[in-house]
């Protein structure tokens, strides 16, 4: 039974991390530095996207933390280890998505076009 719980939480951890931890990492490694760079070169009018990003970091971090706490509090150790293993796998698969790549640039420009000059 513990193996099934481990595998189930592995999947849950991967999904939750893909929608919370990975966007947080993209914000820190791409969006904030890119916003600062655009402001320094004069292509953006404001630093507002950074404030929006920080709110996203807080909300996404809270979601991940609450799920982690619930699993740690109410389920067994094998569930917690599965969740953490799924998080680690999602993190490893996301390493190529963290920097300045065409997908991140396109998403950034689409979401922040009202702040561009």
Q: Where are the domains of the chain?
A: 2-115
pLDDT value at 1 more than 80: no
The pLDDT of residue 67 is 96
pLDDT band at 24 (very low <50, low <70, confident <90, very high): very high
* Residue 20, φ and ψ in degrees, nearest 5: -125, -60
The pLDDT of residue 66 is 97
pLDDT in tens, 64-112: 999 999 999 999 899 999 999 999 999 999 998 888 999 999 999 999 9
Prediction pTM value: 0.88
The pLDDT of residue 91 is 94
Question: What span, in angstroms and rounded, lies between the C-alpha atoms of 15 and 12?
Answer: 5
Question: What span, in angstroms and rounded, lies between the C-alpha atoms of 104 and 23?
Answer: 11
Dihedral of the alpha carbons of 20, 77, 3, 13, in degrees to the nearest 10? 0
């Amino acid at each position: 039974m513990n193996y099934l719980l481990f595998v189930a939480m592995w999947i849950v951890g991967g999904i939750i991390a893909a929608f919370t931890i990975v966007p947080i990492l993209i914000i820190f490694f791409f969006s904030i530095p890119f916003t600062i760079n655009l402001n320094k070169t004069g292509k953006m009018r404001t630093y507002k996207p950074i404030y929006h990003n920080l709110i996203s970091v807080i909300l996404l971090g809270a979601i991940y933390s609450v799920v982690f706490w619930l699993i740690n509090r109410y389920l067994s150790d094998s569930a917690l280890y599965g969740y953490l293993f799924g998080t680690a796998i999602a993190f490893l698969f996301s390493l190529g998505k963290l920097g300045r790549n065409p997908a991140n640039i396109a998403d950034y420009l689409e979401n922040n076009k009202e702040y561009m000059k």
